[in-house]
A and B are shown apart, each in its own frame.
Chain A
Amino acid sequence: MLDIKNLHVKLEDEDKQILKGVDLKVEAGKVHAIMGPNGSGKSTLSYVLSGRAGYEVTDGTATLDGEDILGMEPEERAAIGMFLAFQYPVEIPGVGNMTFLRTAANAQRKARGEPELSAADFLKLVREKAKTLQIDADMLKRPVNVGFSGGEKKRNEILQMAMLEPRMCILDETDSGLDVDAMKLVSDGVNALRDEGRGFLVITHYQRLLDHIKPDVVHIMSDGRIIKTGGPELALEVEKNGYADLKSEVA
């Protein structure tokens, strides 16, 4: 599904190389996790895959089902099924959460040549999904993420994911700032979306989240590279011994 080959990325305005040859393949139906110390380039990878400005790809490719995504606009990537749950969801004063969700859902449908959702169908769908994430009517009415707590913002990301039903979901530290209950809500939301046809790339700093969202494959990223790949046990190993051992292992 998602196929990243030898991806090299530097900052556009600065002579700073951040990704130094990332190779990664996420198959449909699978959950891959990326762990790694702060500053290793995990968020950068997620941003580059979703098309944020400010980065320059100096080498390598990234495709979704064979289609080159790196040349696409962010909205085109979204329309073919890419989704990033942001590490720091953005506040948008003046745009109601509901308006935002409806605009996004319909824009994607339009881009794919599908009919727009009727107001009634949309409302029904949002209410249903919001309920399982314990997002109340007030949060739906308020401007996007404005005044939301950290946990509310993350739940709101999962709500968007549930509404948009992307094929390839990237979650960037969705667990950070969550207490145990919120972590469970968010994980249940993600698990509910696990499906034969859908791939997940779960970026996390801690093993904790992976107790709830069981990964098939775990990658360790350090200094802009995947330095080790293994099964779920790799996450436990990192939790116990830290990253230092792994880094010296490959050095």
Chain B
Amino acid sequence: MALPKAKEDATAALLGTLQMPDCGGWCRAAREDALSRLTAMGLPHRRDEYWRFTDPASLIVPEVPKAATLGADPEPMFDQIERLRIVFVDGVFSPEQSDDLTLAGLEIERLSEAMTSDIHWARDIYGKLEVEAQSPVARPLAALNTAFASDGIVIRVTGKVEKPVSLVYLHERDDSQAILHHIVKVEAEASITILENGPAAARFNKAMEVDVADRGEFRHIRAQGRDHERRAATHLFGRLGQESVFKSFTLTVNGVMTRNECVLNLTGDDAVAHVAGAAVGDGDFHHDDTVFITHGGETCESRQVFKKVLKNGAVGVFQGKILVKDGAQKTDGYQISQALLLDETSQFLAKPELEIYADDVACSHGSTTGAIDEEALFYLRSRGVPDAEARDLLILAFLAEAIDEIDDTRIAEDLIGRLEGWLARRKDD
């Protein structure tokens, strides 16, 4: 089917600015397949159903919208946690700032290196989870990523890894664009935690494909950048084997435009998938969480918990779907998306969906939009807690259900500290 002219033009315009990185062997085919997928589906447009709440224009215009950099964080995220640091500056791997890529229980390589070999296990994952996720809904920015990713990290986890692998994305140039693609393969019974933080670039397109084998565990905590003007479109793809665990949490503080898609496929029985997020935005802030969880195996559990605090015209979006396939009996699916609007100019747009083809399942979903609870506020104040402090307490309480999804209490406390900082910086206005 021919694309609408506008879409075709927009796609051609952006593609004209991108160059497929050199690579030999196995990846060439994967990239070219992705490019033909992309040209067939075209880049997203505001009129696409899947983008009706989020205008993708700034994510695809050929000239990257500039984003000022705040500079180095005086208190770097996750600094108190022992971790293996891997640093990218404006999307370029920085060997000087990164640790040695060695850690017991796993193999790590840069994608750009993995791609130079003729044969590589990553071939079975690179672009493969992305392709599976292209139906029933097209995700053109992910296809674009597979075609043009300049680098990334390729990890094979064979044991229980003690230290988290921490991907740090620094942003130094105000017009930078970064396209990174990571592959994580968690072997049977192995486990890993991946941390991600930083603004990455003026415009960031990131994909991560995660294949978790039977009884494997994958945990993921991400803190998205402090640079107010940065833009990001990210995709997290997961394939979950039997009795595997997949838990992902994202904190988003600032960022003028963020679209985080998460597409999970629970293929084995008894798998557990939790995706959660807390986003706080003030002013020119548009944050979109789009989640699609497919239950294929029996007695699997999935949870989606997304909370947003919005202020001064900030916009929050949630599109979440649970698809229970025929035969996925005893599925336990839960989804909640809530927004706390601190004023009347902010808005929350939500589209929760359930599609169920099995008869013995327990699925629930809910979505709410509300203001600060005046009764609770008065109760706190009547006990002597000043108005502003009482509001902060209630905002953090609102976010608590999402933050509680994080298993590691040190990390949870660090993130709460960030949120308190965000609240404190907003006292003056």
Residues of A within 8 A of B (CB): 50-53, 73-75, 77-79, 83-84, 86, 89-95, 99-100, 103-105, 107-108, 111, 143, 160, 164
Whether B379 pairs with A92 at a CB distance below 8 angstroms is yes
Residues in chain B near residue A73, CB distance under 8 A: 381, 386-387
Please tell me if the beta carbons of B394 and A74 are within 8 angstroms of each other in the complex.
no
Stretch in B27-35, B351-359, B370-378, B421-429 touching the partner: B370-378
User: Which B373-397 residues sit within 8 Å CB-CB of chain A?
Assistant: 373-376, 378-387, 389-390, 393-394, 396-397
Could you tell me the distance between the alpha carbons of A83 and B401 in the complex, rounded to whole angstroms? 31
**Bound-state Cα–Cα, A105 to B393, Å:** 15
Q: In the complex, which of the residues A51, A94, A99, A105 contacts B381, with contact meaning CB atoms closer than 8 Å?
A: A51
Asked if A103 contacts B374 (CB within 8 A), the reply is no
18 CB-based A-B contacts, threshold 8 Å: A50-B382, A51-B378, A53-B374, A75-B390, A77-B382, A78-B381, A78-B382, A78-B384, A89-B379, A92-B397, A93-B397, A94-B399, A103-B393, A104-B380, A104-B383, A105-B384, A107-B386, A111-B384
> Which of B389, B398, B401 contacts A107, CB < 8 Å?
B389
Chain A residues with CB below 8 A from B70, complex form? none
Inter-subunit contact B381/A74 (CB<8 Å): yes
Q: Given A52-B378, A90-B376, do A104 and B385 touch, yes or no (CB 8 Å)? A: yes
B400 within 8 A of A: yes
Q: Is the CB–CB distance between B379 and A75 below 8 Å?
A: no
CB contacts (< 8 Å) of B373 on chain A: these are 92
Q: How large is the interface on B (under 10, 10 to 19, 20 to 34, 35 or more residues)?
A: 20 to 34
Interface residues in B389-420 (C-beta closer than 8 Å to A): 389-390, 393-394, 396-401
B: which residues have CB within 8 A of A? 373-376, 378-387, 389-390, 393-394, 396-401
CB contacts (< 8 Å) of A86 on chain B: these are 379
Complex contact A74–B382 (CB within 8 A): yes
CB atoms of A94 and B398 under 8 A apart: yes
Please tell me which one of the listed residues B381, B384, B397 contacts residue A164 in the complex, with CB atoms under 8 A apart.
Answer: B384
Report which residue of B374, B375, B381, B394 has the largest number of chain A beta carbons within 10 angstroms of its beta carbon.
B381
**Does more than half of chain B's interface fall in helix, strand or loop, or is it mixed?**
helix
Cα(A164)–Cα(B384), bound, Å:
9
- Closest A residue to B385 by CB, please name it: A107
User: Provided the pairs A86-B379, A104-B380 are in contact, do residues A95 and B385 lie with their beta carbons within 8 angstroms?
Assistant: no
- The answer to whether B380 touches A100, judged by C-beta atoms less than 8 angstroms apart, is yes
By a CB distance below 8 angstroms, the chain A residues around B397 are 92-95, 143
Residues of the A chain whose Cβ atoms lie less than 8 Å from the Cβ of B399: 94
Q: Is the CB of B383 within 8 A of A78?
A: yes
In Å, the complex CA distance between A152 and B400 comes to: 24
Looking at B376, B383, B386, B387, which has the most chain A CB atoms within 10 Å of its CB?
B383
Min Cβ gap A52→B in Å is 5
Question: How many Å from the CB of A81 to the closest CB on chain B?
Answer: 10
8 Å CB contact of B379 from A90, A107, A143, A164: A90
Q: Give chain A residues whose Cβ lies under 8 Å from the Cβ of B394.
A: 92, 94-95
Bound Cα distance A217, B156 (Å): 78
Name the contact of A108 in the complex, choosing from B384, B393, B400 (C-beta under 8 A): B384
| Identity of the chain A residue whose Cβ is nearest the Cβ of B390 in the assembled complex | A75
